[in-house]
Chains A and B, each alone.
Chain A
Amino acid sequence: MRALPAPFSDWFSRRGWQVHPHQQAMLDRAQAPALLLVAPTGGGKTLAGFLPTLTELADGSHKGLHTLYISPLKALAADIRRNLSTPVCEMKLPIRIEDRTGDTSHARRQRQRADPPHILLTTPESLALLLSYEDAPRIFAGLSRVIVDEIHALAESKRGDQLMLCLARLARLAPGLRRVGLSATVEDPAAIARFLARNPEPCEILHADPGPDPDIAMLTTEEPPPWAGGGGRYAIPAILDEIRRHRTTLVFHNTRAQAEIFFHHLWLANEDALPIGIHHGSLSRETRERVEAAMARGELRAIVCTGSLDLGIDWGDVDLVIQVGAPKNVKRLVQRIGRANHRYNAPSKALLVPANRFEVIECQAALQAVREHDLDGEPRGPGPLDVLCQHILVAACSAPFDADDLFAEVTTAGPYAALARADFDACLDFCATGGYALRAYDRWQRLMQRDGLWSLRDPRSARAIRMNIGTITDAGLLKVRLANRMGGQPLGEVEESFAATLTPGDTFLIGGQVVRYEGLRELTVEVSRAAGREPKVAVFSGTKFSTSTRLTERILAILREPSWPDLPDHTADWLALQRKMSRLPRHDRILVESFPAEGREHLCVYGFAGRNAQQTLGLLLTQRMEATGLHPLGFVATDYATLIWGLNPVTDPAALFDRTALSQGIETWLQGNAVMKRTFRGVALIAGLIERNHPGQRKSGRQASFSSDILYDTLRRHDPGHLMLRVTRQEAMRGLVDFGRIEAMLDRAGGRIDHLRLARVSPLAAPLLLEHGRIPVEGAGRERLIAETAARLMAEAGLG
């Protein structure tokens, strides 16, 4: 065991602290090429990561950059700088610590390149930018450690894939570089270790004491939860009681819109005027920072929030976490629960609030899973090629490269360990020539091979490439401002597609206030305050998660039980009634009910495949029904079922589930689908086919760029085998389309489809009749809508 050097042991004892066993273990294994520390929130994880660095730098002999710290959040980088400065100052260590993010001034960034600090705290995007400079070899020459914080979060997204490509580059610039990953509790630490390590080197995994089990329960309310819908409005009185009983409560929601609506009604019911704030990713930075500061000062009793508070910053004294709506994913729930009692060895306290009757079962399943430490997660698949394309362009900005060398380097990154040379070559060809079947750019290639090395044909293009570094492509966000002469106070952001549905006079919620849409100016949504009115909508969505496969299996297991003493009576009675009137769905069969209701024929398919897959299933089944003359009119999907209505009864549902036909159906359907276009836009932005930012971009109202949909349609017509379409398809199938889970559902059912013809709606199907998000099935639906709306507007204007 390595003893702490004197200044450190003195400092610990002055504070009455002891080195945690996992902090000691990190010191003992400081020379390991790769280490992963899995520790719960509040376990002194960050200090454990930095202790070896501080001890190595204590004697002042190291020149230049020693440790690079990467965090997914800019705010976290700044926060860690402040936290580290305390011990460094108190021990009078000769260590310079700086952060570098998109918010760092130009002058400071220039200086950091010329004279790097000992410890640099940054984000994956800022690191990629640093690596794009010609002087990257000099900046990183002496680098000896890199710490990746919240690596479990980064590993779930393309940001992590990009970061690992950057680490592969760093390992080349600084041989002997050691890697440390800091992770919250995850289901498969070995996968994160493979992600982090330099392939094929090993990565040791250290587990900190997970601390006591959380104190977690379902919130019981006098009023039972509603049959359908989300948001948990019914529970507001009970939640206010809990807020009163605790110091600081975090109230998590699954979507931003739900957080807004909930906050609005919570505020109306808040008769004691408890100080309560709201925090989510669509709010402006100014607004978020105000809430964060108030929270750090302990001035807020509760914060209504979304995933934006999932990660690491140590805010104040949270002693209760409330999750409104089923958690959908146990791992995320456990990480959220860890936000309460951000101190070691104190149990976290959490309450689950089911938003509707079915979610009672889902919350019950989640409670079981948390107690049994059974975390879930879907494996992510190999590193995506659009990120690799960007990496190749960025590499060309820094220096000419040899293709064989770069391929060898890239395959040392965990996510790209199994990358095929043919795929690498396709990416390189895309970067150089566009990769089109029609070889049009021989004269104007982006990358040229000279003397065996690839470099930018036009060195000036480096600027545009650097301006577009990054893999976050939150599709078309527009700023929201209060309209006034001065340009107005920023309130936050909404999705472009949401803004497009607004007409002047519409009201919606943002930052907890009701605002009136006035108009679109430049790329800003102008609004005015509309006090006290019921908002029309707030559907700037934020992601809708699907319930994880693991949690779904638990739900199905609960449904199989003979009785349900652990569930509230209202829910147990409901399930018993379903068993009597129809059947309960089973893991190894697909239950299909058909019945008349509200003058229409209905078909309910209990696939338990998650919202995205059930939605895709709805599109595919209605397409087949349309073809066989069953005249479907619409459908609605939840995490567990799809309900289809139409004019004719379905007599043979098994025929609808023919696997070959479904697979063919998806090919046709994918072609013109909006999901594909949206996915394509993200892929094209990351791979550098289209640019978000351009040097000298004019700010005129004239759109210099055109819609990526045009490119998508053009490629589909002229070049259907193009790399960008291939990547788009792979991604959509895994993500929003989620066809994989439809296939898994068909596999586990193995053709066992139970069709029950009922005289009326079954208890389990009834809530679906009330569900929001009904999708009309009309081949020419949109076109018809356009024609009708136009006729109406012309008539209103007297021009018809």
Chain B
Amino acid sequence: MTGHRFLLAGTTLAAMPSGALWWADHALLAVSDLHLGRSDRIARRGGTLLPPYEVAETLTRLDADISRTSARVVLCLGDSFDDLAAAELSEDHRLWLTRLMAGRRWIWIEGNHDPGPVDLPGEHLRDLTLGPLVFRHVAEPAARGEISGHYHPKARIAGAFRPAFLIDAARVILPAYGAFTGGMEATRPPLCHLMMPGAIAWLTGPTPCALPLKGR
């Protein structure tokens, strides 16, 4: 298992270059902000017709992460769908997801884009507490041992932007996992205010690496 191992609330977690988070003790794979059905939603609203391959791209990566880790639990940390109508996936994609869900626990945490249960199997929760950790979509400033998503953090190095995990002693904020997602620079408010001194950004991509978050 390559990736960046770190401690949060006494538990060992690993950030993966794909943008997923791995909790080995529970064989739990967490991914955030898949935004499935994004191009479909933009088209439905009379916008531009983006390449309709983003669901397949995202599911391909998720599929690979699940088989690589043999995850027993998959947790989608909100904004899994670009809106509730986008959750009506095509038959192919629905079958694909169903196959991924087979034989493991699957948890949908709700996000601001998908604020309610969608018509798919799995557990639908507002948030989840598991051992010393709490999983929710949007970070709460006072929380400890918290794992969240929502902000699509990214960080810049050597002229390139990469989606990034933001990690400090109290929390982890996950990068967006979906293919067609933008990002927010980790140095901007409110992101920078959420993180404590000593926080790092762990950049995903072909050359994963850690950067100090403050003082840059």
Contacts from A to B (Cβ < 8 Å): 433-434, 436, 438, 440-441, 443-446, 456-458, 460-461, 464, 497, 500-501, 503, 520, 688-691, 694, 701-707, 710-711, 714-715, 717-719, 722, 782-787, 789-791, 793-794, 796-797, 799
Contact = CB atoms under 8 A, between A and B. Distances in A.
B67 interface: no
Contacts of A711: 50-51, 180
Contacts of A520: 185
Contacts of A464: 46-47
B120 interface: no
Contacts of A796: 212
Contacts of A497: 159
Nearest to B39: A440
Nearest to B53: A718
Given A789-B158, A799-B212, A705 B182 contact: yes
A299 B188 CA distance: 45
Interface of B: 39-40, 43-54, 56-57, 151-152, 156-161, 179-185, 188-189, 198, 200, 203, 206-207, 209-212, 215-216
Given A500-B159, A718-B51, A797 B46 contact: no
A785 B206 CA distance: 12
Given A785-B158, A797-B215, A691 B48 contact: yes
B210 A794 contact: yes
A445 B46 CA distance: 8
23 contacts: A433-B49, A436-B52, A440-B40, A441-B43, A456-B46, A461-B47, A497-B159, A520-B185, A689-B48, A689-B49, A701-B185, A702-B152, A702-B182, A707-B182, A714-B51, A718-B57, A719-B51, A785-B158, A786-B207, A789-B158, A793-B216, A797-B212, A797-B215
- Enumerate the 4 nearest inter-chain pairs by beta-carbon distance, A residue then B residue, closest first: A434-B49, A458-B46, A440-B52, A461-B46
A703 B209 contact: no
A786 B158 contact: yes
Contacts of B56: 718
A787 B211 CA distance: 10
B53 A719 contact: yes
A25 to B, nearest CB: 48
Contacts of B159: 497, 500-501
Contact of A790 (B44, B53, B54, B210): B210
A796 B182 CA distance: 30
Contact of B184 (A444, A457, A703): A703
Nearest to A790: B209
Contact of B209 (A436, A458, A787): A787
B49 A714 contact: no
A64 to B, nearest CB: 34
B211 A701 contact: no
Identify whether the interface residues of B are mostly helix, strand, loop, or mixed.
loop
Nearest to A393: B48
Given A458-B46, A688-B48, A786-B158, A706 B182 contact: yes
Contacts of A433: 49
B57 A446 contact: no
B216 A503 contact: yes
Residue of A441, A782, A786, A796 most packed against chain B (CB within 10 A): A786
A690 B48 contact: yes
Given A434-B49, A691-B48, A703-B184, 15 more contacts: A436-B49, A438-B53, A497-B159, A503-B216, A520-B185, A702-B152, A703-B183, A714-B53, A714-B179, A717-B53, A782-B160, A786-B203, A789-B158, A796-B212, A797-B212
Contact of B180 (A434, A457, A703, A706): A706
Nearest to A446: B49
Contacts of B49: 433-434, 436, 441, 444-446, 689
B200 A714 contact: no
A704 B203 CA distance: 21
Contact of B206 (A703, A783, A790, A794): A783
B50 A689 contact: yes
Nearest to B199: A799
Contacts of A799: 198, 200, 210, 212
Contacts of B189: 701
Contacts of B182: 702-707
Contacts of A707: 161, 182
Contacts of A797: 212, 215
Contacts of B198: 799
A256 B122 CA distance: 58
Contacts of B179: 710, 714
Contacts of A705: 182
A722 B49 CA distance: 13
B33 to A, nearest CB: 12
B148 to A, nearest CB: 15
Contact of B211 (A457, A706, A719, A794): A794
A376 B24 CA distance: 68
A703 B184 CA distance: 6
A773 to B, nearest CB: 16
Contacts of A717: 53, 57
Given A438-B53, A440-B52, A501-B159, A702 B184 contact: yes
Contact of B207 (A441, A722, A783): A783
A778 to B, nearest CB: 13
A464 B215 CA distance: 40
A469 to B, nearest CB: 14
A714 B207 CA distance: 20
A790 B215 CA distance: 14
A689 B212 CA distance: 37
A717 B47 CA distance: 23
Contacts of A787: 207, 209
A705 B159 CA distance: 19
Contacts of B152: 702
Nearest to B162: A786
Nearest to B41: A444
A436 B216 CA distance: 43
A783 B206 CA distance: 7
A188 B121 CA distance: 69
A786 B157 contact: yes
Nearest to B44: A444
Contacts of A500: 156, 159
A707 B162 CA distance: 11
A441 B43 CA distance: 7
Contacts of A703: 182-184
A315 B44 CA distance: 51
A789 B157 contact: yes
A434 B215 contact: no
Given A794-B212, A799-B200, A714 B57 contact: yes
A688 B47 CA distance: 9
Contacts of A786: 157-158, 160, 203, 207, 209
A441 B210 CA distance: 41
A59 B207 CA distance: 75
Contacts of B53: 438, 714, 717-719
B29 to A, nearest CB: 23
Nearest to B206: A783
Nearest to A797: B212
Nearest to B151: A702
A793 B212 contact: yes
A446 B48 CA distance: 7
Contacts of B46: 446, 456-458, 460-461, 464
A501 B157 CA distance: 9
A714 B216 contact: no
A44 to B, nearest CB: 46
B199 to A, nearest CB: 10
Contacts of B57: 714, 717-718
Given A440-B52, A444-B40, A500-B159, A691 B210 contact: no
A434 B210 contact: no
A457 B49 CA distance: 13
A541 B185 CA distance: 25
A790 B211 contact: yes
A714 B54 contact: yes
Contacts of B181: 706
